[in-house]
Amino acid sequence: MIDVRGVTKRFKDNVAVDDLNFEVPTGVVTGFLGPNGSGKSTTMRIIMGLDHADQGEAVINGTPYSKLAQPLREVGALLEAKAIHPGRTAFNHLWFLAQSNGIPRRRVHDVIELVGLDQVANRRVGKFSLGMGQRLGIAAALLGDPGTLLFDEPINGLDPEGILWVRNLLKGLASEGRTVFVSSHLMSEMALTADHLVVIGRGRLISTGSVGDFIATNAGQYVRVRTPRPDELEGLLEAQGAQIRREGDGSLSVSNLSAEQIGITSGNAGIFLYELSPQSASLEDAFMEMTRDSVEYHGHRLDGATATTNGK
């Protein structure tokens, strides 16, 4: 179990992680979700003892990382792919790590085989593709056969087959009773892989709980409505308890009211409808909705308008 207790981390005047509290349970895959720059990698580096927290602490099974005598046997991590000397071979990279923690040479060969790099084990890492680098990073994480694993965006750079492989690997590791903590900014990927979620935005905890609960609360239904008289219709629907969001293209997203009820209301009022289509919000939408106010870097639409209203 990983326990993050009140961790705060500042870089100059930028607060990257802000009084963050959460637990990562054992035996399931826990997804760590947040938009770009929300502090996922920083939190993972703090758990690994690489960055020092300004306040609070992170412990693994009750012990801070820096107090572990042979840490690779207890915690394995893939933090950045290719944070590896390009002139060293895959085997030698794993071999020096193994030596430092008293891990037998046999195990180096085993993990190389496990991640499917046996053909290139003696090639210099500088010649590796992004996906091969990612696999080598996973091999390094698994080297000490640890009970706790951290992966920072492990599917980056992997092809569909590789993504499926990682997904099954993570689930397999968790089912063996390990603690598996995986960051991603893709909610859809986490819905397939994770059992538990920790969602952060701007370094703060937004939500934590099981994926099932997250889907039940967030993947709501809504009806997309287009009409030449949106203001009038909006008032009428709201009177019936609907929640309405005005979209950028002028359409209305109506929730809490069925398509039938909307149709009857507009018919009675003599308001024409150009579109009346039930939609189901994807988890991705729910995630974006949830972190909307905490997104640090907003995209801009090509017509020059900001994509969301919360520009910095």
Partner 1 sequence: MAMNTSSATVWSSTLATTRPQRTSGLVRAEWTKMRTVRSTVWTLLAMAVITLGIAALAASTIASRWNTFSVVRRLTFDPTSMSLRGLLFSQLIIGVLGVLVMSAEYGTGTIRATLAAEPRRARVLIAKSAVFFVLAAVVGEVLAFGGFLIGQSLLTSPVPHATLTQPGVLRAVTGGGLVIAVLGLFALGLATIIRHSAGAITAYVGVLLVVPIILQTLPSSFSQPILKFMPFTISNAMTSVASQGSSAFSPWVGFAILVGYAIVSLAIGGWLLAKRDA
Ligand X SMILES: Nc1ncnc2c1ncn2[C@@H]1O[C@H](COP(=O)(O)OP(=O)(O)OP(=O)(O)O)[C@@H](O)[C@H]1O
For binding to partner 1 (CB under 8 A), which residues are involved?
Answer: 26-27, 45, 48-52, 65-73, 75, 77, 79-80, 82-89, 92-93, 95-97, 99-104, 107, 140, 144-147, 175-179
Q: Which of residues 259-298 bind ligand X (CB under 6 A)?
A: none
Q: Which is nearer to ligand X, 42 or 193 (CB)?
A: 42
30 binds Mg ion (CB under 5 A): no
190/73 Cα distance (integer angstroms): 26
Cβ-based nearer residue to Mg ion, 74 or 152: 152
CB of 186 to ligand X, least distance (A): 10
* 42 is a site residue for ligand X (CB under 6 A): yes
Kindly state the number of chain residues that form the binding site for ligand X, as judged by CB under 6 A. Answer: 12
To ligand X, the closest distance from the beta carbon of 155 in angstroms equals 13
Of 213, 289, 208, the residue nearest 245 (C-alpha): 289
Task: Write the CA distances from 13 to 10, 28, 245, integer angstroms.
Answer: 6, 36, 35
Instruction: Dig out the tokens for 218 from the structure.
Output: 């967030």
| Residue 36 found at the interface with ligand X (CB under 6 A) | yes
Helix extents (H) in 222-282: 230-239, 259-269
> Least distance to ligand X from the beta carbon of 239, Å?
42
Considering CB distances under 5 to 8 angstroms, the limit depending on partner class, which of ligand X, partner 1, Mg ion, none binds residue 201? none
Give me 220's structure tokens.
């709501």
Query: Nearest to residue 1, comparing CAs of 19, 26, 31, 38?
Result: 26
Residues in contact with Mg ion by CB under 5 A are: 41
